[in-house]
């Protein structure tokens, strides 16, 4: 039965991703979106600029372009910053293979060219130009440029790496990134300050923190320098930064980002993790499960989140033998600073799944648990995540010790791959945070 439960969890995950495609989202929002574009794009529109960035940038651009109606005299140009180059690139567009989870040279070039492109249309009368920003998760690394030009690419990479390994959640990390960058925290939109703008979002951040998505390049920043410095102190980050970055952050003149009321930059959310959770819930219900959504553990430490979700599904099955708990968001996994980091393979989803496998050894009722990234990427592995059940670790003490050793070494993917538990999708062109599916079926 649990083998079937594991396959059912995989099927629910796949169905939820399909239901949350960019094309479906645009079709649902088309009337409202067309109305907003019509209000922004006057008959005198002469210049349309589009900057698409992040893991979902290519499908967003491909789905949106056919929806845009422009006059014959309007020139259209843009920049696509994505994890892989699409088979075809629209005329007038530049492509940059931005780095992720760490920036690369293309990340710097993309940021510089985006600023230059926006500045070039800024002198136009507002009614003659429109800038569209298509933003999805992952763009914090894919488009980057230090506000201090003296900070090198290598020091910027080290800065991002220290953040990723700090244990800080996405909102906290991106608060720090905003105050480091020339294109984050609303500063990209400032480059086109007198041009009409619209941002379309595919969000991988908590709903209350949309300005954290991709570190908010086009949205006013709700965080402050004070917040930034508090985060740096709490996670003891300064000691892990290169000297140039450390000197930048300790400067008493660290510049503030544009705040609400200082930047007019409207935004529309096309997709977020709520859509993903509801799609998974609908499919689970269609399969006969009593399904609930519980996102209370978003941004918790992985072990606390895992214990909480396991207690929820155990409690739920007392009244509903065939039940499902769905949870979206992210968990935090502090990563030790290994000298041989390349041999420690995994991500937060596989780490959480392997931890749960060790907690299910004494379970006598069928449970299957899936945890996977909607982008198809989990940490530095080739997997999106993993699915396990109460038999994953088994009764052998040696087997259990090997799983616990893999957890301690942050090498969850190696262990789970060896036990045929990983989920490999490849890049999905989507990025709506992580999805966790817990299934119990003791009805037979």
Q: Is 406 exposed, middle or buried (0-12, 13-18, 19+ CB in 10 A)?
A: buried
What is the per-residue pLDDT across 259-274, written as a single tens digit (0 to 9) for each? Answer: 998 998 889 899 999 9
Tell me yes or no: is domain 41-271 CATH 3.40.50.10180: yes
Q: What is the pLDDT of residue 363?
A: 84
Q: What is the pLDDT of residue 387?
A: 98
User: Would you kindly state where each structural domain of the chain is located, as residue ranges?
Assistant: 2-14+274-441, 41-271
Q: What is the pTM of this model?
A: 0.88
Q: What is the pLDDT of residue 340?
A: 61
Q: What is the pLDDT of residue 364?
A: 84
Nearest to 188 by CA among 272, 47, 81: 81
Q: What is the pLDDT of residue 45?
A: 81
Tell me yes or no: is domain 2-14+274-441 CATH 3.40.1480.10: yes
Q: What is the pLDDT of residue 431?
A: 87
Q: For residue 59, how many C-alpha atoms fall within 13 Å in the half-sphere facing its CB?
A: 20
What is the per-residue pLDDT across 38-90, written as a single tens digit (0 to 9) for each? Answer: 655 567 788 899 999 999 999 999 988 887 777 777 889 999 999 999 999 99
Sites in the chain below the pLDDT cut of 50: 1
Q: What is the pLDDT of residue 206?
A: 86
């Amino acid at each position: 039965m649990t083998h079937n439960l594991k396959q059912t969890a995989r099927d629910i995950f796949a169905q939820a991703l399909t239901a949350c495609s960019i094309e479906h989202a645009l079709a649902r929002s088309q009337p409202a979106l067309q109305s907003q574009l019509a209000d922004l794009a006057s008959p005198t529109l002469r210049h349309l600029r589009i900057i698409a960035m992040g893991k979902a940038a290519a499908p967003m651009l491909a789905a949106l372009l056919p929806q845009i109606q422009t006059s014959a005299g309007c020139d259209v140009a843009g920049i696509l910053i994505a994890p892989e180059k699409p088979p075809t690139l629209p005329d007038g567009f530049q492509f940059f293979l931005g780095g992720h989870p760490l920036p690369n040279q293309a990340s710097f070039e993309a940021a510089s060219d985006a600023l230059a492109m926006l500045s070039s249309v800024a002198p136009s009368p507002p009614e003659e130009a429109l800038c569209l920003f298509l933003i999805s998760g992952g763009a914090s690394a894919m488009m980057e440029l230090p506000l201090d030009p003296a900070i090198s690419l290598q020091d910027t990479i080290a800065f991002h790496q220290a953040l990723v390994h700090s244990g800080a959640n996405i909102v906290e990390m991106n608060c720090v990134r905003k105050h480091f960058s020339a294109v984050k925290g609303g500063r990209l939109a400032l480059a086109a300050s007198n041009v009409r703008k619209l941002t379309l979002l595919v969000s991988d951040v908590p709903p209350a923190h949309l300005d954290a998505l991709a570190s908010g390049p086009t949205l006013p920043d709700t965080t402050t320098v004070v917040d930034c410095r508090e985060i740096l102190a709490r996670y003891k980050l300064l000691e892990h930064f290169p000297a140039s970055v450390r000197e930048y952050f300790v400067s008493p003149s660290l510049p503030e980002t544009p705040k609400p009321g200082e930047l007019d930059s409207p935004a529309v959310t096309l997709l977020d993790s709520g859509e993903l959770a509801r799609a998974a819930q609908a499919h689970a219900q269609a399969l006969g499960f009593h399904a609930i959504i519980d996102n209370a553990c978003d941004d918790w430490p992985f072990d606390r989140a895992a214990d909480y979700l396991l207690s929820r599904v155990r409690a739920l099955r007392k009244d509903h033998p065939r039940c499902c708990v769905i949870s979206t968001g992210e968990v935090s996994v502090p990563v030790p600073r290994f000298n041989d980091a390349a041999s420690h393979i995994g991500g937060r989803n596989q780490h959480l799944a392997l931890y749960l496998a060790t907690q299910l050894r004494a379970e006598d009722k069928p449970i299957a648990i899936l945890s996977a990234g909607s982008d198809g990427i989990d940490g530095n592995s080739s997997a999106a995540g993993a699915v396990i059940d109460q038999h994953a670790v088994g009764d052998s003490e040696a087997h259990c010790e090997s799983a616990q050793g893999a957890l301690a070494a942050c090498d969850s993917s190696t262990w789970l791959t060896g036990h045929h538990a990983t989920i490999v999708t490849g890049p999905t062109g989507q990025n709506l945070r992580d999805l966790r599916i817990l299934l119990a079926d003791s009805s037979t």
